[in-house]
Structure 1
Amino acid sequence: MTFYVENEVQADFGFDIEELSKLVAEKVLEMEGCDYPVEIGLTITDDEGIKEMNSQFRGIDSPTDVLSFPNVSYETAGDFSVMDSEQKVDLLNPDTGGLMFGDIVINEARVRSQAADYGHSLKREFAFLVAHSMLHLCGYDHMEEDEAKVMEEKQEKVLGELGITRD
């Protein structure tokens, strides 16, 4: 797995952002049964940066905590058999052969405020947002109540298996 980290705001949460992101992403991919070598872009930005992206790509003119930009189109969430189709050719990085899986954008300010609001560590909040976004990159959504329940269970399982619990 390759993570390309762009820390636009020089965020310092007291842990290695790339290391934690890889750890969480690898656990999600392992649990989802994705054994392709993937490449993921991670950007850490601020309220203004994520607000601009949220407005541009979702038509919502306000900041949010995390945005996910999956490159893979799934018939069914978590079903990587789609990678056996012609779509795979368009998703491979010609220089590395890695699957260009997608991009994650995390709002530094929301990591801090949500950790305080929920009474847990910055590490736990950041890991939660990475797990949440990785599930979106795997085709999951939370628009319907049953979908949200599936995502919540998967997020908690990933963090629990990694020992990243609410403090």
Structure 2
Amino acid sequence: MTLYFEEEGEARLPIECEKIARQVIETTLDYAGCPYEWEVSLLLTQNEEIRKMNRDFRGIDRPTDVLSFPMTDYPVPGQFGFLEESDDCFHPESGELMLGDIVISKEKVLSQAEEFGHSALREYAFLIAHSVLHLIGYDHMQDEERQIMERKQKEIMERLNILR
């Protein structure tokens, strides 16, 4: 399992970001039944940088908490069987499933933790679990999709024992 971890900007979260990210990604993918070793890139950044990315990639000119950039489109969320037919989903040297990129605003982690009345750890872990679900095809644009994703996020956070 490979986590490419990068942090930019002066703000720091009061937690072990790389260690926690690895744990949350592993737990989320185990929960989803992912049968492969994985590769994920995670960038922790500041509001201004994520605002630019949000504007450039989504046409929304404001900071957001997390952006997810999946490497593969999943015909059915969380179903991995179709991947066997496509070699371009796997790293040619490691054989790991290349899931995609996650970008998180550290400032949003801190402000949302305060706003929602829980720890920075809880907010950070939640955003990673949320993003990994996006990387494997889940979305929340429709009400039914949102309910499924919310249930999965809640169950993942319970597995991690990171509660509000």
* Superposition TM-score tier, normalisation by shorter sequence: over 0.9
| TM-score, normalising length: structure 1 | 0.94
1:59-95 Cα deviation digits (max 9, x unpaired) = 1111100000011211100010121112xx1122223
Shift of 1:14: 2.2
Q: Is the 8 A contact 1:11 1:44 kept in 2?
A: no
1:24 is aligned to 2:11: no
Q: Is the 8 A contact 2:12 2:106 kept in 1?
A: no
Letter in 2 for 1:93: H
Moved over 3 A (4+): none
Task: Find the counterpart in structure 1 of residue 140 from structure 2.
Answer: 142
Unaligned 5+ residue runs, structure 2? none
Q: Distance in 2 between matches of 1:82 and 1:9?
A: 39
| TM-score, normalising length: structure 2 | 0.96
Q: Distance in 1 between matches of 2:9 and 2:82?
A: 36
Task: Find the counterpart in structure 2 of residue 105 from structure 1.
Answer: 103
Unaligned 5+ residue runs, structure 1? none
Q: Distance in 1 between matches of 2:93 and 2:52?
A: 31
> How many residues are paired up?
164
Q: Distance in 2 between matches of 1:11 and 1:34?
A: 33
1:23 is paired with a residue whose SS is helix
Worse overlay, 95-104 or 105-114: 95-104
Percentage identity across paired residues of the two chains = 47
Letter in 1 for 2:141: M
Q: Distance in 1 between matches of 2:70 and 2:6?
A: 17
Please show how residues 11-160 of structure 1 align to structure 2 within 5 Å. 11-86=11-86, 89-160=87-158
